[in-house]
Structure 1
Amino acid sequence: MDRFVGQARLEWWANQSTCLEMYDIDIAVTVDSVGTLRATGWHAIALDKTQREGWDFLMEMDPHFSITFPGEDRGGIMVRVDEAENGTLSLTEAPDWNGSVNVTFDLT
């Protein structure tokens, strides 16, 4: 796959067996000469207030998602997602992401 334009799904996994949320996105993907995935996308359907709060929470906790393309049951490519102010999503492959996150909650 050198280029893909279509829909995909971002999945945020808490662990290997628990997917907390899935987001359908429209996406344009390219793969460079060394096989690195780069993509730009946006949410396929505008997020309502509750979905936006969930998205923002997950993005703040850890912006790494698994990406699933049409015909796949479960994504195997980990990506880091960055969101611009206009809602455009930039996805870069995160092959060295080890699944661990250091999270601090302020309960005061």
Structure 2
Amino acid sequence: MNRFVGRSRLEWWANQSIFLEMYDIDITAADDAVGKWRATGRHANALDATQREGWDFLMEMDPHFSIAFPGEDCGGITVRVVEAEDGTLTLVEAPDWDGSVSVTFDLS
């Protein structure tokens, strides 16, 4: 991919079988000078309170998502997502991410 401008979908997978959530985003994506894929964008629709709570929870647990482009059934590129205070999303390809994360829950 050299450049893409349009709507995509971020998918958060707990593992290869368990899909938890997806978010439509409007992005501009391109390969940078060293050939690494990068994108910036925003949520396509403002998140309501419940969606925002879910988004924040997933981002805190692990900010890696799969990104799906129009015509794709599921995401093929793993990206690390960073959200700025103004809501701008920065996505960087994370090809070395192995899908593992260490999470500790306090259930007391």
TM-score between both structures, scaled by the size of structure 1: 0.96
RMSD: 0.9
Matches within 5 A, 1:44-59: 44-59=44-59
SS in 2 for 1:4: strand
| Letter of the 1:48 counterpart | D
What CA distance in whole angstroms lies between the structure 2 residues aligned with 1:18 and 1:43?
A: 23
Which runs of 5 or more structure 2 residues have no equivalent in the other structure? none
Instruction: Report the equivalent of 1:11.
Output: 11
Deviation of 1:106 (Å): 1.7
Which runs of 5 or more structure 1 residues have no equivalent in the other structure? none
Instruction: Report the equivalent of 2:105.
Output: 105
Instruction: Report the equivalent of 1:25.
Output: 25
Instruction: Report the equivalent of 1:67.
Output: 67
| Letter of the 1:28 counterpart | T
What CA distance in whole angstroms lies between the structure 2 residues aligned with 1:33 and 1:47?
A: 33
TM-score between both structures, scaled by the size of structure 2: 0.96
* Percent identical: 77
SS in 2 for 1:15: coil
Does residue 1:82 correspond to 2:68, yes or no?
A: no
What CA distance in whole angstroms lies between the structure 2 residues aligned with 1:33 and 1:56?
A: 31
Deviation of 1:33 (Å): 4.5
Moved over 3 A (4+): none
| Letter of the 1:45 counterpart | N
